[in-house]
Structure 1
Amino acid sequence: MTRPTSRDVATAAGVSQATVSLVLGDKWPGRVSERTATHVRETATRLGYRPNLAARNLRLGTTRTALLVVPALTNEFFARVYTGAARVAAEHGFGVVLYPSPDGTGPARDPFASARAALDGVIASSMAAHTLDAIGGNTLPLVMLDSDPAADTAAAAAHVNLAMADGMRQVTEHLLAHGHRRFLHLASAVDSWTFDTRAEALTALLGPHTELRTVRAPLTVDAARTAMETALATPHDRPTAIVCDDDILAAGACKAARRLGLRIPEDLSVTGFDDLALATAVEPELTTVHLPAERVGEQGMTALLTVLEGTTWTAPDIPVRLVVRDSTGPAPTP
């Protein structure tokens, strides 16, 4: 069935197409009688007419659309970021298009014939500003989430970051208070500012009477399990605490421990980052850092709207908190 046009509404109502445009664009007061306006609206409703918002916005010089670029859709964190951004966007008559970069954190390809013609701005999570040049990140207003504020200052109009270093501080102090001195950092193999920040904070927080070893793994449960089975195989230099860059890696570490006959937390404490649904699906449930992802999305969209209004956006890092569960406990007695 063909969608009715404004011309169809005009014909059915017995008025000009210009009158229909005035009424449906809420520009009729003082130019069209209230009776005619009511008649046009009722006719449009009866015909099931819906305005072509894309064409209308093009005439207005704005699409009222933002692009949210994320490294992947397989991580629940980014889905929650989108939920928060879309909620704020809807409140202001904007739409958000979610775009997982085909190359992860690498250079993102333009998903449109021309992003500059299709979008009002770009929001990017956990990426670097220079990777967004192809989709207009160097010409469109750009808001960076969870990214390096120093490196991206020239390219980005605003930043929204989580207090990642403080999250790692909470993890480290929790484990030190339980007597742990031999640490293994199960780090993400992804080259990203957010993971570098966690590594730097962990190293800075551990004193001279502690040991720290780093093992890197891709962000999958199987990759983390394989890496940890190798790292934990030798009893004499085995850590008592594994600090993981995210919950997916932590799940893999827990699987490796069980396969090697190690008890969690009696023999080995494990911590994660993100507080995904996975954190309470594993057994024992995971001690992890809760990241308010929806709030990140909300602030990201709010920052973009602020920039589009010509105002400078500034805000402190979003607080994070440690959620203590059963995967951590006192260090085992030597």
Structure 2
Amino acid sequence: MTRPTSRDVATAAGVSQATVSLVLGDKWRGRVSERTADLVRQAATTLGYRPNLAARNLRLGTTRTALLVVPALTNEFFARVYTGAARIAAEHGFGVVLYPSPDGTGPARDPFASARAALDGVIASSMAADALHAIGGTDLPLVMLDSDPTAGGSAHVNLAIADGMRQITQHLLALGHRRFLHLASAIDTWTFEVRAEALTTHLGPHTELRTVRAPLSVDGARTAMETALAAPGTRPTAIICDDDILAAGACKAARRLGLRIPDDLSVTGFDDLALATAVEPELTTVHLPAERIGEQGMTALLAVLEGTPWTAPDIPVTLIPRDSTGPAPTP
């Protein structure tokens, strides 16, 4: 069976091939009437016409492809970010290629013979920013996720991370906690710096705060917390973790030391991963709308590609209180 062409669509709709190109290329507004556009779309659907995207993209000098750079595929948070970005991309005839930055395996390698020839733009997590240089992503239109908004050269899509930490501290202070341990990620990146600064700011006077850094893994967090909780001195009554994965490790350490959560020790996380409701007791954490981050990241990139200035408020986050936090234990 012969594949229908744009000429066939034009004949069926009673219009020119140029009009077909305008309508199916979504550039008809202001040039073609709504009625004519509907006729073209109906004719294309009836005939089963599919445009030759490769040829069209070659003519236009565009690939309609975005690259999403994330730290790892093992973290469900970034899988959700991809889902959101891909949804918006599909609505605009774009595709999203996912590039996980290698961790612990040396410098990232450029997967493209020419990133500029293969991609229209890049969306990147600040946690994988180092990979941008390897793939030549810094030379392309760029949207950074969860990154320093004062850094130039790109658009930014951020979460209200500092407010999330404010919600955690208010929750714990209201429960009577005054001795805190911050289980911080050992990854040196903007988003974790913001958490640490916000924590210090919102705890206020008459509180104690100690910081312990750990690799972003359950075992790494467990090891760090076993050492910290077994150390001489007054034990904290609440552990504030940079991430749910760290919080799961903190809970394991507490149980190994015979501490009850939340009777002896309250624990909070950050992200609201599936892990937060898989542990027992379920984890008090801050919900980060990952799919919305991906959606807004792709929307921002589309704006950048059109030459439209991009600005947007930080995406709100929400504290989800669960059973891992309770009143501070009586001295």
Classify the TM-score, shorter chain. 0.7 to 0.9
Q: C-alpha distance in 1, partners of 2:10/2:181?
A: 62
Instruction: Give 1:31 deviation, angstroms.
Output: 6.2
Q: Indicate the residue corresponding to 1:71 in structure 2.
A: 71
Q: C-alpha distance in 2, partners of 1:41/1:326?
A: 56
Q: Render the CA deviation track for 1:43-93: whole Å, top value 9, x for unaligned.
A: x86xxx966533431222111110000011111110110010001011111
Q: C-alpha distance in 1, partners of 2:14/2:124?
A: 40
> Does the 8 A contact of 1:164 with 1:198 survive in 2?
yes
Q: Per the alignment, do residues 41 and 99 of structure 1 end up closer, same or farther by CA in structure 2, a change over 3 Å counting?
A: same
Q: Indicate the residue corresponding to 2:99 in structure 1.
A: 99
Secondary structure at 1:232 match in 2: helix
Is 2:149 the partner of 1:149? yes
Runs of 4+ in 1 over 6 A off after TM superposition: 24-28
Aligned positions of 1:128-207 closer than 5 A: 131-150=131-150, 152-153=151-152, 155-156=153-154, 158-207=155-204
Q: Per the alignment, do residues 311 and 98 of structure 1 end up closer, same or farther by CA in structure 2, a change over 3 Å counting?
A: same
Q: Indicate the residue corresponding to 1:256 in structure 2.
A: 253
Q: C-alpha distance in 2, partners of 1:28/1:99?
A: 44
Q: Indicate the residue corresponding to 1:310 in structure 2.
A: 307
Is 2:265 the partner of 1:279? no
Instruction: Give 1:126 deviation, angstroms.
Output: 2.5
Is 2:15 the partner of 1:29? yes
Secondary structure at 2:298 match in 1: helix
> Does the 8 A contact of 2:70 with 2:128 survive in 1?
no
Aligned positions of 1:102-117 closer than 5 A: 102-103=102-103, 108-117=108-117
Q: C-alpha distance in 1, partners of 2:256/2:211?
A: 21
Q: Indicate the residue corresponding to 2:27 in structure 1.
A: none
Q: Indicate the residue corresponding to 1:270 in structure 2.
A: 267
Instruction: Give 1:98 deviation, angstroms.
Output: 0.7
Q: C-alpha distance in 2, partners of 1:298/1:30?
A: 36
Q: Indicate the residue corresponding to 2:213 in structure 1.
A: 216
Secondary structure at 1:275 match in 2: coil
Instruction: Give 1:256 deviation, angstroms.
Output: 0.6
Q: Render the CA deviation track for 1:196-255: whole Å, top value 9, x for unaligned.
A: 000011111222311111111111101111111111113642110000000000000001
Q: Indicate the residue corresponding to 1:13 in structure 2.
A: none
Q: C-alpha distance in 2, partners of 1:256/1:54?
A: 55
Normalized against structure 1, the TM-score is what? 0.84
Instruction: Give 1:310 deviation, angstroms.
Output: 1.1
Secondary structure at 2:209 match in 1: strand
Give, as a single letter, the amino acid of the residue that structure 2 aligns with 1:59: R
* Residue ranges of structure 1 left out of the alignment (5+ in a row): 11-19
Two-structure CA RMSD over aligned residues (Å): 2.8
> Does the 8 A contact of 2:71 with 2:128 survive in 1?
no
Secondary structure at 2:303 match in 1: helix
